[in-house]
Structure 1
Amino acid sequence: MRRRFVIEAVMVATYGQLLVPSQPVDFVLPYSTIMELYEMKDAAEPVMDDPSDDAHVKAKINELIQFFEDPFNRKKIERSLQMPWRESSPLLLNDRIQFTVVYAVDNAHYGELFDPIETELLLTSLKLNVPLLSDQFEFQDRLIEAEVPVQMYDIEDYEFAVEEGISTEEWDSHRDL
C-alpha cells in the first residue's frame, strides 16, 4: 500500500531523500505548487544559500518541470484542472514514487493566517485526509496555534512517516480527545 503525503512540488526537488523511500509513496501536489516551480526556475534570487546547492536544486526543478510537461503526464494534469478538487490519475515517476496533482482551490477560511500556497496545502490535506510533509517550522507552528486538524510530519521525520507513521484511524481518535 502506498503512503500518501500532501507536499509542495519544490520540496520534492529540494530533498532528494524523498525520492528514495523504503516503501511506495504517492505525493499529492496542489497544482499551484507545480506552477511555483516555474517561478523558482526563472527567479533571480537563489533557492538555496550555497551556490552549488542552488545549482543542483534548480537542475532538479528543471527535471521535475520536464516530468510534468511530458505529454502523457500533462494530459493527466489538464484533466484534473477541469473541476475544483479533482485529482489527476497517478503520474508514475518509478516503481516507488507517484504523484497525484489536485486542482486545489484556496478559500478565505484560513486565508488570514496562511498564504495561498499554505492554505491550499492544508485544505488538500483536510479534504483528502492525507498527512502533510513540510520543512517550514513557522508554518507548522501556525498550524498548531490555529488548531488546524491536519496531521503533519516534518521532512526530517519522513522515513518514520513512510515506514510507520500514524494511521488515519489513530489520528482521528487522538484528535477527538
Structure 2
Amino acid sequence: ELLELSRIESGLVPMVIEPVQAEHLVREVMARMLPQAQRHRVTLRTEVDEGNILVAADSKQIARVLVNLVHNAIKFTPSGGKVTIGTTEQAGGQTQRFYVSDTGVGIRPEELPRVFERFYKADRARAKTDFIGPGGGGSGLGLAIARHVVEAHGGRITAESRVGHGSTFTFTLPVATRGATPGGSL
C-alpha cells in the first residue's frame, strides 16, 4: 500500500476518468461487501438518488475508496449495527456526494483530524478482534489513499463522528458533462 500511495501522490497511477453511474458504483460495492457484513452480523444497506446520475470518475479507483470505507465501517461496528452506503446530488447538480455511515464505536474528537494521515491508526482496541491480524490490523494507509484518489478526481473527503454513535465518511465527485455516456464497470 505504501508503494501504491507514493505512486498516486506522484501522479504515476493513471486515472481513467469516464462517465460512471453513481448508483451503479454504490450497488456494486454493496454486492461486493455484503458477504463480509453478513459474516460480522452487520446490516449493510444503500441509499441512492434514482435517476441515472453520471459522475466523472475512474470506476476502479472510486470503488476502491468505497470498499475501504465500508470495510472500516464494518470493522468498527458491533454485531447488530448498521452500515449505509449512499449517494446524493448536491451543489445544484454540479457534484455528487457519496457517503458511508455506521452505527459503530465512533472516533474520538482528538483522533478525527488525523484519520487521513499516512500510517495513522485509530484506537485498534475498539475494532473487532477478528479484523486484527498478526500484524496488528491495517497499515494505516487506506484512508490516506482514499484522500489522494478523491482529490485526484477534483473531489474532497471528510469525516464526522461521535463516540458511541458512529461515523460518516463523505466525499464528492464532479458530475459528468451532459451528453456523456456511461463507461465501464468495476
Answer whether TM exceeds 0.5 for this pair. no
Bigger helix fraction = 1
TM-score, structure 2 as length reference = 0.26
- Name the structure, 1 or 2, with higher relative contact order (CA <8 Å, separation 6+): 2
TM-score when scaled to structure 1? 0.27
